[in-house]
Amino acid sequence: MAKVADGINSQLRNIEKAYGHSIDDLTQVIAKSGLTKHTEVVAMLKTKYGMAHGAAHRVSLTARERLGVDSANIAKAPAAATEAVYKRLLEVVTSMGPDVEQAPKKGYVSLRRRKQFCMLQAGAKWVNVGLVLPGTDASGRLEPAGTWNALFTHRVRVGAISEIDAELRSWLTTAYRAAG
C-alpha cells in the first residue's frame, strides 16, 4: 500500500519534470522572494513559471515547510536570537506545576492542564506567547489575540529574556490556574 509521503514525492518529481526546475531551486527562489503567505507564493509560481494551481500549491507547501514557515507565516524553529527566550519561557511555564503537559504541534507547542492555557511559537524576532485570559482587558504588551490565533484571547511578543518579568509571569499564572 502506498503511503502519503510516497504520493507527495511522486508529485514533486513530476513537477520537477514538467517545469524544468528542482524543488530545491524553487525553494531558493521562494526564499529570495521574501514571500511567506501561501497564497502569495502560489500566485508567484503560477505567474513566473506558468504552474498549474495544484503544482504551485504543492511546491509552496513543500518549500515553506523546508524554510520553516507555517500557515501563520511565523518561523517554526527558534532563530538564534530567540532560542534562549523560548527555552526560558518553556522552563517558566513547565515549572508552574507537575500537571503541565506539552503538546507539540506544527509550528508551536501547546501547554495544557485540563485544557490549553498557553502556547509558545518561536519567530525570527520574538516568541509569541498565546494566553487564554477571558475577561482580561488587553493593554500595552498584552495584545488581543484577534486574528493571530482564535484559540487564545491574548498574545505577548517576547524578544528578550528580560521581558520574562513579573507582569508576564502573572499572566501566565492566571491562565494556568484558570485551566485547572
Task: State pLDDT tens for residues 27-59.
Answer: 888 888 888 788 889 999 999 999 998 889 889
For 129-157, the pLDDT digits (tens) are: 999 999 999 999 999 998 788 889 999 99
Q: Is 21 exposed, middle or buried (0-12, 13-18, 19+ CB in 10 A)?
A: middle
Q: What angle (nearest 5°) sits at the alpha carbon of residue 74, between those of residues 170 and 154?
A: 30
Residues 52-91, buried b or exposed e (16+ Cβ, 10 A)? eeebbbbbbebbbeeeebbebebbbebbeebeebbebbbe
* Sheet hosting strand 108-112, strand order edge to edge: 101-105, 108-112, 116-122, 127-131, 154-158, 143-144
For 76-110, the pLDDT digits (tens) are: 444 556 788 888 999 999 999 999 998 887 778 89
The single residue listed with the C-alpha cell 499564572 is 173
The DSSP secondary structure of 75-115, one letter per residue, reads BSSPPHHHHHHHHHHHHHHHTT-TT-EEEEETTEEEEESSS
The single residue listed with the C-alpha cell 532560542 is 83
Phi and psi at 141, nearest 5°, equal -80, -10
Strands 116-122 and 108-112, bridge-based pairing? antiparallel
Q: What is the pLDDT of residue 80?
A: 59
Return the closest-CA partner of residue 176 out of 102, 81, 97.
Answer: 97
Domain regions of the chain by residue span: 4-66, 80-178
Query: What gap in Å lies between CA 40 and CA 15, rounded to an integer?
Result: 19
Residue type, position 56, single letter? A
- Contact status, residue 111 vs residue 119, Cβ threshold 8 Å: yes
pLDDT at 65 over 90: no
